[in-house]
Amino acid sequence: MSRTHYIAGNWKMNLDKAGSVKLARDLVAALKGKSNKYMVGVPFVYLDAVAQVLKGSNILLGSQDMAATANGAHTGEVSAEMLKDIGVQVVILGHSERRHEIGESDELINKKVRRALEQGLEVVLCIGELLEDREAGNAEQVCAFQLSADLAGVSEEQMKKVTIAYEPVWAIGTGKTATPADAEAIHKFVRGYIAKLYNQKVADETIIQYGGSMKASNAAELLAQPDIDGGLIGGASLKAETFEPICVL
């Protein structure tokens, strides 16, 4: 089945306001009229400024995280309502840096996923194994657990707004990349597991991105795999000249 490539940039904790606005402007110009699906995940403090630049373009505005609760006494948190108010359309949840640096549990990630979907936001749900999991032969087991736990209570209808990003944790920001064959094997497994959780139609329609040191030099080979439908790009998304070549594949 043919699925549209979905290329997303995750800016992480980088750039300043001027740099964020310039990058957004450069991307709007570079990607105008291009047919893939695009998103940029912007730091909270620059979302509003970038929203003004992306308005009316073919690039979705994404947040890198979101609170699991509605507005209220939650110091330091940012709610779905606040994000929607400034034009956010997508939220990245379960990123390995949230899981392993911040200590987010699958229970919390599931609450965030359900909250985002209830509020009409699209979700990019990140899953993936640590190096020790892969070396122990448990990569599939880890991904299956995360999918089951993080998608608990998510309906078949809601899955239309969910993208899965497979990111082998050992390949994020390290320069190491899973070989296209290794990445495809896990993507194929993930699609099969979604079919078990839901059905084959949902599995066939779900976009599964690869995240883990994807860049212009390896993107074409990765995206040529039958079950790799896009990329969640970190470092290479911080400059238009390194991000745009991936976007137009």
Of 121, 138, 31, 131, the closest CA to residue 82 belongs to 121
CA 214 to chain centroid, in Å, comes to 13
Of 126, 39, 45, the closest CA to residue 78 belongs to 45
Sign of CA dihedral 24, 67, 85, 208: positive
Burial of 73 (0-12, 13-18, 19+ CB in 10 A): exposed
Catalytic residue among 5, 95, 97, 187: 95
Cβ atoms of residues 77 and 63 within 8 Å: no
184 is catalytic: no
167 is catalytic: yes
Catalytic residue among 104, 129, 167, 184: 167
Of 67, 69, 87, the closest CA to residue 78 belongs to 67
List CB contacts of 217: < 8 A, sequence separation 6 or more.
Answer: none
Cβ atoms of residues 184 and 224 within 8 Å: no
What distance separates the 2 farthest-apart alpha carbons in the chain?
47
Q: Which residues are catalytic?
A: 95, 167
